[in-house]
Amino acid sequence: MNGFTKKGFYELIYKNERFSFLQYIRKDVICDVCYITLKNVITGETLTFDKSEIRGLQVTGEEANAS
């Protein structure tokens, strides 16, 4: 998950739900839990995901490992 960059869009699967058009905002570790915050560039919604629940991550057509 260290492959996030400030440029580009991401698509991920989180708890069996697909999220698209996401742009990386930040990574936080709170009480030993890693959270990834992304923003949907279409809706403007900011979403925070528990890293351990991310099942798939796609970066502009490339598969990336979520671990």
pLDDT score recorded for residue 39: 95
Q: Which residue has the higher pLDDT, 6 or 55?
A: 55
Global model pTM greater than 0.85: no
Angle (nearest 5°) at CA 51 between 48 and 53: 95
pLDDT score recorded for residue 28: 96
42 backbone φψ class: left, alpha, beta (φ>0; ψ -120 to 50):
alpha
pLDDT score recorded for residue 5: 59
- pLDDT tens digits for 25-52? 999 999 999 999 999 999 999 999 999 9
Q: Which residue has the higher pLDDT, 48 or 6?
A: 48
10-17: average pLDDT: 93
